[in-house]
Structure 1
Amino acid sequence: MTRFSLARRALLALAIALPAVPTAAQGAWPDRPLRIIVPAPGGGGTADTIARILAQELEPRLGTRVLIENRGGANGNIGAAEAARAAPDGYTFLFSWAGTLATNLSLYRTLAFHPQRDFEPIVFIGTVPNILVVNKDLPVRTLKEFEDHARAHPGAINFGSTGNGSSMHLAAEMFKTRTGVEMTHVPYQSPATATNDLIAGRIQAMFQLVVGIQGQVKGDLVRPIAVLAESRAPQLPEVPTTAEQGMPGLVFGTWFGLLAPKGTPAPILARMNAEMNAVLDDAAARARLVQAGLAVGGGTPGQFAAFLDSEIRSHAELVRAAGVRID
């Protein structure tokens, strides 16, 4: 149960009660397909998979096609900028995540969009937690043993990530900040390459996403140490959390949200919020999302706006601590 669950349940009746939304330029909304821009490549990645599940679930509720449009590149900046430029007519939405909406504000000197200035928050979708995994030859099995080993061998543990400012990078930086240990960051172009190097022993650790590494954990190719979450991941229920191992503040993951271009009519935003909350509360849809690795969220636009504001500030602190810039 998340902080958004009670608000989500209170909104469910609206999904049924709200009528079709009229706009000035057209009849009932929606009267043509919607598009959701996902600022990542297609092909089954975490964001793409979750977005497509949501689109499929929304279609019968809205009575129209909901098309996923992949616009990858520049850590999500290209797709987000395109969504920000779209007409605020209720037919274009942005499905994005922490890196693009929070981290990039501090990681890049200039952006062609601003997540708060250029978008209307609709709903917090949920979180995919990070998990600390290590090469099987590393002589550690608990979070404390990992910390002690890193402290005894400063800089000797090489941790892989999908690049500066990625969730895998910032999760490790949070661990370093909390513990004061030294580790060496090794950025990769893709999580698959980093994972292969972890298995081979060319790097010693990763703060991977649960959904991205669960197969290798179950296949006994890497050793799981701790899930960076408040509760255990249903995909890997045998792996204890950081809180269970004495670090309750070490919580990190990639979260997702749905937004619309600034100026989108309020009735459309309300309808989309209600319909999305209904999807997130539907048992069959939740099962599909959990299988994709999501800790399901929900709630009001105001809750999402407040959450986004706090995440922008906390990610800025992590980026400053890491001392990284892209441009």
Structure 2
Amino acid sequence: MLRRALLALPLAAPAIAMAQEAPFPNRPITIYSGFPNGSGIDIYIRRMAEPLGRALGGVTILADNRTGAGGNIGSELVAKSRPDGYTLYFGTAGTHAINATLYRTLPFDVIRDFTPISHLGDVPNILTVAPDKRPAFSNCAALLSAARANPGRLNYASTGNGASTHLSAAQFVLAAQVDVVHVPYRGQPGAQTALLGGDVDFFMNQSGPAIGAIRQGQVKGLGVTTAQRLPSLPDLPTVAEACNLPGFVSTTWYGLFGPAHLPAPILERLSSAVTSVLREREFSTWLTDNQGISLPPVYTPAEFAEIQRRDVAAWGDIVRRSGASVD
């Protein structure tokens, strides 16, 4: 009798171990970003945290900003973490497409070392000026006229070399054929402070923080980089129409990533939960009305991965044409 019981133990052990494994997720999930408090990315993560946690069964979603190196510090942390679904990264076209060309060497590969989970929206930029510091720039035509009359004298802020706020403005400068000086700052707060203080002439800011500043009367919007006007700012013309630059469009995207080799069941669970949040009327309305972010048809992880691969090549060309570099 005792011998039969002992023989049965090895067979029972795996079953006991499996029974002890709790389903994903069963503890807090941390979403890292590479940008500071107050940035459009930080605002998005913190607004998404509660409904996403609810969609995942009531877990806590934590936000952790690891700033520096154009988002690469946070990206590296996630790239080298365990692929268990508890360490994620809020990426952008900057961190996961532009940086592949902007930096000669990276301690990770933007495609090979990550698992794309969900496309979180397309993000435009808004050409902004401080009306009390630059009252003459009442519209884009006036801004470009001043730039052409004073080559090399005007300047613009960005949130860092190679950031979307830099490359969107670089596209604008190239399209308008003007000579304007780029002044990079470390993140959104520094660039916005420089604009409001009159240290720079304009700032091609991301739509989220730009819309808030426009509504508060801090800045004046001269144009948005989308093909169509934003529903949230219907009186704001596009850069194409305001600046007489037909066809000008410059948008980036936000996306959620995990480390490479994220197990399929965890990937599906996360992607499904994010999709449910994006489809919530309250959240989608907040994105479009408050952040100026458009939500295209929901992409599968595989479709989002293809968008990322395409944009690594497309933005690489813009980086090379603009001469942007941080090495």
TM-score calculated relative to the size of structure 2: 0.83
Q: Which residue of 1 aligns with 2:48?
A: 54
Which whole-Å deviations, capped at 9, do the CAs of 1:82-119 have from their partners, x for residues lacking one? 11111112322221112211121112121111121011
Residue 219 of structure 1: how far off its partner (Å) = 4.3
Seen in structure 2, the aligned counterparts of structure 1 residues 318 and 277 have a Cα distance that, compared at 3 Å, is same
Higher mean alpha-carbon deviation, 189-198 vs 295-304, is at 189-198
Q: Distance in 1 between matches of 2:255 and 2:147?
A: 35
Counterpart among 163, 167, 179 of residue 176 in structure 2: 179
Gaps of 5+ in 1: 1-22
8 Å Cα contact 1:163/1:189 also seen in 2: yes
Higher relative contact order (CA 8 A, sep 6+): 1
Q: Distance in 2 between matches of 1:179 and 1:293?
A: 24
Aligned sequence identity (%): 37
Q: Which residue of 2 aligns with 1:28?
A: 23
Larger Rg, first or second structure (1 or 2):
2
8 Å Cα contact 1:129/1:254 also seen in 2: yes
Alignment of 1:41-120 (within 5 A): 41=36, 43-63=37-57, 64-120=59-115
1:296 lines up with 2:295 in the alignment: yes
8 Å Cα contact 1:131/1:210 also seen in 2: yes
Counterpart among 149, 152, 172 of residue 149 in structure 2: 152
* SS across alignment from 1:320: helix
Higher mean alpha-carbon deviation, 198-207 vs 315-324, is at 198-207
Q: Which residue of 1 aligns with 2:125?
A: 130
* SS across alignment from 2:253: strand
Q: Distance in 2 between matches of 1:187 and 1:150?
A: 19
* SS across alignment from 2:121: strand
8 Å Cα contact 1:279/1:285 also seen in 2: yes
Counterpart among 246, 258, 261 of residue 260 in structure 1: 258
8 Å Cα contact 2:159/2:166 also seen in 1: yes
8 Å Cα contact 1:84/1:113 also seen in 2: yes
Gaps of 5+ in 2: 1-17
Write the letter of the residue equivalent to 1:229: T
TM-score calculated relative to the size of structure 1: 0.83
CA RMSD of aligned residues (A): 2.5
8 Å Cα contact 2:35/2:187 also seen in 1: no
8 Å Cα contact 1:129/1:253 also seen in 2: yes
Write the letter of the residue equivalent to 1:294: I
Number of corresponding residues:
304
Q: Which residue of 2 aligns with 1:284?
A: 282
Higher mean alpha-carbon deviation, 300-309 vs 77-86, is at 300-309
Counterpart among 259, 269, 272 of residue 270 in structure 2: 272
Seen in structure 2, the aligned counterparts of structure 1 residues 172 and 25 have a Cα distance that, compared at 3 Å, is farther
Higher mean alpha-carbon deviation, 176-185 vs 231-240, is at 231-240
* SS across alignment from 2:237: coil
